[in-house]
């Protein structure tokens, strides 16, 4: 019997398992799918290293970088080129991500009037200092309306279109109509002045290495976590349909909020309601392997709504890290808007590929003329609805009195691999501080 069972082998669960193992505990991770890593996923095909889930690591991800260093992967995080572009009326405007202010001043993307109006964003820059992992509950006071409602009241139509809504589409594959204004503040904090990094050998190399430090059971679909006075029992079903009941002193549940609310038996209604208010949406990703490397310098082209209804951005993976495509070849990744993804999630891969290739060709003619193959993946992605940040402080406060069952995962902050990692580490630290494990202490 292990000391702790971690449910969910994504970045949050693996970070928790790692911290607990370092704290001297024996840990068993139960993961429903056939591999660990959650939404950090890499596939290799014909010499291409294809990140088909999460793709960006800004240099501001300090916790993730520290954890990578701890497991000997500091040198595997390689800097990529960071040219952030936006398409407007068929023209691609490049901004140097490392010198954003200078680039914005000189860009043809915005009219002089819109550039002058950027000064109106100065108070948002100040407020964005609250939108860090630890201070996010304080940023919750600005979580009263959607990003687009806020932008309509404060910014011109031009900035709404080419700045706020486009950023939300490009980073989150969702519209500013459903995202909170606080999501935008958090994006400013994470991306302003950042460089872009990538794991050599693909995003999945990080969770793969992390998983080596403890026992991981895949195809373990957990359906119940029950807390008793002396420990927890975790009920799960394996790939052959056999039922298991494991016992441990404690458990960390690191699954999407909707799932956590379903499987953790003892949870008050308020917490259950909070976890299910974090919307578990759909995002379809298409990777496009190109037989010839495009001449463009850009790393990421954001696609505003006026340029395409559901194409949100085009990532040039071969600029993110040197190993993503064979020499002279190119690799693109596109994420499709959540609402479109939901409507088309049951479409055949071939139909989605054909639609995506036509969409990219429409936005950047000729870019996908030399396509070697495409790959389509479907993801569930959590999105905070307006009001979640406002209640985040109360939710986190409620976690402080948890003992044997600790919660982690994307529903406890803005959704990204840095904050997911932090939720896992914090859950592990809370557990180690409970006194359940005597002398073994937090890291
Ligand atoms: C297409 C896409 C692109 C993204 N791009 C980026 C990016 O560029 N940068 C960034 O920082 N973030 C990005 N993200 C977000 C990032 O991937 C997530 O924030 C992060 O993976 C969340 O980690 P997690 O461990 O909380 O959840 P997950 O990664 O979802 O892991 C949860 C794990 O729990 C398992 N599980 C669920 N239910 C059960 C159960 N009942 N029993 C056992 N196991 C279960 C799941 O199979 C999964 O492996 C992206 C997400 C998507 C979908």
Q: What is the pLDDT, as a whole number, of residue 181?
A: 96
Q: Hey, which residues does 79 pair with through a beta bridge?
A: 197
pLDDT band at 192 (very low <50, low <70, confident <90, very high): confident
User: Of all residues in the chain, what percent are helix, strand and coil, respectively (each to 5)?
Assistant: 40, 25, 35
* The two structure tokens encoding residue 14: 């693996």
Q: Are residues 171 and 293 in the same domain?
A: yes
Contact of 93 with 107, CB cutoff 8 Å: yes
What's the CA-to-centroid distance between 297 and ligand 1, angstroms?
A: 30
Residue 100 has pLDDT above 90, yes or no: no
Q: Are residues 296 and 323 in the same domain?
A: yes
* The two structure tokens encoding residue 142: 């600005």
Asked, for residue 173, whether it belongs to a domain, the answer is yes
Q: Closest Cα partner for 392 from 417, 418, 410?
A: 410
Q: What is the pLDDT, as a whole number, of residue 441?
A: 55
Region 316-331: mean pLDDT is 94
Report the alpha-carbon distance of residue 292 to residue 332 in Å, rounded: 12
Report the alpha-carbon distance of residue 185 to residue 257 in Å, rounded: 22
Cα pseudo-dihedral 95, 96, 99, 101, rounded to 10: 0
Q: Are residues 164 and 223 in the same domain?
A: no
Region 329-342: mean pLDDT is 98
What's the CA-to-centroid distance between 128 and ligand 1, angstroms?
A: 25
What's the CA-to-centroid distance between 51 and ligand 1, angstroms?
A: 13
* Cα 365 from chain centroid (whole Å): 30
Q: What confidence tens digit (pLDDT) does each residue in 385-420 have?
A: 999 999 999 999 999 999 999 999 999 999 999 999
Q: What is the pLDDT, as a whole number, of residue 113?
A: 94
Residue 442 has pLDDT above 70, yes or no: no
Q: Are residues 141 and 95 in the same domain?
A: yes
Q: Are residues 307 and 332 in the same domain?
A: yes
Q: For ligand 1, say whether the CB of 41 is within 6 Å of any of its atoms.
A: no
Contact of 66 with 57, CB cutoff 8 Å: no
Region 266-291: mean pLDDT is 96
Beta-carbon contacts of 135 under 8 Å, excluding residues fewer than 6 positions away, are 129
Which residue owns the Cα nearest ligand 1 atom 50?
54
Which residue owns the Cα nearest ligand 1 atom 32?
10
Q: What is the pLDDT, as a whole number, of residue 219?
A: 98
Cα pseudo-dihedral 15, 421, 42, 338, rounded to 10: 140
Q: What is the pLDDT, as a whole number, of residue 105?
A: 84
Contact of 23 with 441, CB cutoff 8 Å: yes
Asked, for residue 70, whether it belongs to a domain, the answer is no
Q: For ligand 1, say whether the CB of 422 is within 6 Å of any of its atoms.
A: no
Q: Are residues 239 and 358 in the same domain?
A: no
Q: Are residues 326 and 269 in the same domain?
A: no
Q: What is the pLDDT, as a whole number, of residue 98?
A: 75
Atom nearest to 380 CA in ligand 1: 53
Residue 439 has pLDDT above 70, yes or no: no
Q: What confidence tens digit (pLDDT) does each residue in 32-59 have?
A: 999 999 999 999 999 999 999 999 999 9
Asked, for residue 53, whether it belongs to a domain, the answer is no
Q: For ligand 1, say whether the CB of 299 is within 6 Å of any of its atoms.
A: no
Q: For ligand 1, say whether the CB of 285 is within 6 Å of any of its atoms.
A: yes
Q: For ligand 1, say whether the CB of 2 is within 6 Å of any of its atoms.
A: no
Q: For ligand 1, say whether the CB of 11 is within 6 Å of any of its atoms.
A: yes
CATH of the domain at 355: 3.90.660.50
- Give the range among 98-102, 168-172, 184-188, 195-199 with minimum mean pLDDT: 98-102
What's the CA-to-centroid distance between 39 and ligand 1, angstroms?
A: 4
Q: What confidence tens digit (pLDDT) does each residue in 221-237 have?
A: 999 999 998 999 999 99
Beta-carbon contacts of 212 under 8 Å, excluding residues fewer than 6 positions away, are none
Residues in the chain: 443
Residue 259 has pLDDT above 80, yes or no: yes
Q: Are residues 330 and 194 in the same domain?
A: yes
Instruction: Give the domain extent around 367.
Output: 78-199+279-383
What's the CA-to-centroid distance between 40 and ligand 1, angstroms?
A: 7
* Cα 393 from chain centroid (whole Å): 21
Q: Are residues 177 and 307 in the same domain?
A: yes
Ligand 1 pocket test: which of 56, 279, 416, 428 has the largest number of ligand atoms within 8 Å of its C-beta? Answer: 416
Asked, for residue 52, whether it belongs to a domain, the answer is no
The domain boundary, picked from 383, 398, 413, lies at 383
Report the alpha-carbon distance of residue 315 to residue 358 in Å, rounded: 16
Q: What is the pLDDT, as a whole number, of residue 80?
A: 86
What is the DSSP secondary structure assignment for residue 110, as one 8-state letter?
A: S
Q: Are residues 311 and 353 in the same domain?
A: yes
Q: For ligand 1, say whether the CB of 379 is within 6 Å of any of its atoms.
A: yes
The domain boundary, picked from 342, 368, 383, lies at 383
Q: For ligand 1, say whether the CB of 55 is within 6 Å of any of its atoms.
A: yes
Asked, for residue 438, whether it belongs to a domain, the answer is no
Atom nearest to 410 CA in ligand 1: 26
Atom nearest to 423 CA in ligand 1: 26
Q: What is the pLDDT, as a whole number, of residue 340?
A: 98
Tokens 């794991």 sit at which residue? Answer: 199
Q: Hey, which residues does 405 pair with through a beta bridge?
A: 251
Whole-angstrom CA distances from 28 to 168, 355, 402, 429 are 37, 42, 20, 17
Ligand 1 pocket test: which of 9, 31, 39, 342 has the largest number of ligand atoms within 8 Å of its C-beta? Answer: 39
What's the CA-to-centroid distance between 33 and ligand 1, angstroms?
A: 12
Q: For ligand 1, say whether the CB of 416 is within 6 Å of any of its atoms.
A: yes
Tokens 């609310």 sit at which residue? Answer: 261
* Cα 402 from chain centroid (whole Å): 26
Asked, for residue 62, whether it belongs to a domain, the answer is no
Q: What confidence tens digit (pLDDT) does each residue in 160-182 have?
A: 999 999 999 999 999 999 999 99
Q: What is the pLDDT, as a whole number, of residue 195?
A: 87
Asked, for residue 61, whether it belongs to a domain, the answer is no
Q: What is the pLDDT, as a whole number, of residue 440?
A: 59
CATH of the domain at 216: 3.50.50.60
Q: Are residues 167 and 302 in the same domain?
A: yes
Region 289-315: mean pLDDT is 96
Torsion sign (Cα): 269, 270, 273, 279:
negative
The number of folded domains in the chain is 2
Angle between helices 181-191 and 147-154 (to 10 degrees): 90
Atom nearest to 222 CA in ligand 1: 42
- For 128-167, give the secondary structure using H, E and C: HHHCCCCCHHHHHHHCCCEHHHHHHHHCCHHHHHHHHHHH
Contact of 70 with 424, CB cutoff 8 Å: no
Mean pLDDT of the chain: 95
Longest dimension (CA), the chain: 67
Asked, for residue 441, whether it belongs to a domain, the answer is no
What's the CA-to-centroid distance between 144 and ligand 1, angstroms?
A: 26
Q: What confidence tens digit (pLDDT) does each residue in 413-435 have?
A: 999 999 999 999 999 999 999 99
> SS3 of 49, please?
strand
Q: For ligand 1, say whether the CB of 63 is within 6 Å of any of its atoms.
A: no
Q: Are residues 260 and 335 in the same domain?
A: no
Q: Closest Cα partner for 101 from 192, 197, 165, 196?
A: 192
What's the CA-to-centroid distance between 439 and ligand 1, angstroms?
A: 33
Q: What confidence tens digit (pLDDT) does each residue in 117-169 have?
A: 999 999 999 999 999 999 999 999 999 999 999 999 999 999 999 999 999 99
Angle between helices 388-399 and 269-277 (to 10 degrees): 140
Residue 208 has pLDDT above 80, yes or no: yes
Residue 185 C-beta-side C-alpha neighbours within 13 Å: 29
* Cα 298 from chain centroid (whole Å): 22
Q: Closest Cα partner for 54 from 42, 43, 66?
A: 42
Q: What confidence tens digit (pLDDT) does each residue in 198-207 have?
A: 999 999 999 9
């Amino acid at each position: 019997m292990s000391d702790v069972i971690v449910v969910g082998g994504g970045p949050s669960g693996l970070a928790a398992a790692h911290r607990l193992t370092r704290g001297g505990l024996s840990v068993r991770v139960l993961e429903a799918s056939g591999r660990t890593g959650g939404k950090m996923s890499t596939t290799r095909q014909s010499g291409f290293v294809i990140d088909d889930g999460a793709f960006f690591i800004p240099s501001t991800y300090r916790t993730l970088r520290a954890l990578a260093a701890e497991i000997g992967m500091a040198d595997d995080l390689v800097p990529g080129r960071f040219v952030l572009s936006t398409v407007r009326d068929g023209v691609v405007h490049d901004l140097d991500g490392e010198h954003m202010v200078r680039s914005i001043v000189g860009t043809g993307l915005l009219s002089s009037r819109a550039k002058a109006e950027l000064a109106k964003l100065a108070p948002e820059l100040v407020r964005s200092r609250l939108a860090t992992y630890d201070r996010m509950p304080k940023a919750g006071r600005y979580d009263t309306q959607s990003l687009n409602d806020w932008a309509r009241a404060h910014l011109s139509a031009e900035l709404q279109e080419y700045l706020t809504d486009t950023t939300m589409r490009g980073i989150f594959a969702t519209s500013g109509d459903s995202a909170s204004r606080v999501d935008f503040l958090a994006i400013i904090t994470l991306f302003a002045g950042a460089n872009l990094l990538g794991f050599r050998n693909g995003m999945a190399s990080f969770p793969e290495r992390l998983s080596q430090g403890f026992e991981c059971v895949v195809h373990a679909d957990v359906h119940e976590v029950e807390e008793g006075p002396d420990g927890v029992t975790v009920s799960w079903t394996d790939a052959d349909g056999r039922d298991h009941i494991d016992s441990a002193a404690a458990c960390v549940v690191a699954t999407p909020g909707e799932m956590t609310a379903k499987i953790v038996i003892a949870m008050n209604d308020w917490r259950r309601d909070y976890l299910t208010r974090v919307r578990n949406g759909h995002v379809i990703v298409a990777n496009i392997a190109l037989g010839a490397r495009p001449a463009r310098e850009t790393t990421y082209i954001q696609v505003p709504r006026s340029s395409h209804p559901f194409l949100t951005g085009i990532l040039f993976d071969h600029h993110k890290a040197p190993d993503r495509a064979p020499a002279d070849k190119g690799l693109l990744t596109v994420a499709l808007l959540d609402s479109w993804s939901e409507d088309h999630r049951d479409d055949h891969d071939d139909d989605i590929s054909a639609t995506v290739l036509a969409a990219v060709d429409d936005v950047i003619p000729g870019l996908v003329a030399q396509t070697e193959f495409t790959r389509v993946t479907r993801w569930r992605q959590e999105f905070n609805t307006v009001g979640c940040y406002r209640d985040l402080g109360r939710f986190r406060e409620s976690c402080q009195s948890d003992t044997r069952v600790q919660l982690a995962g994307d529903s406890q902050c803005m959704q990204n691999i840095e904050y997911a990692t932090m939720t896992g580490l914090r859950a592990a630290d809370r557990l180690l501080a409970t006194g359940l494990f005597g002398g073994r202490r937090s890291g």
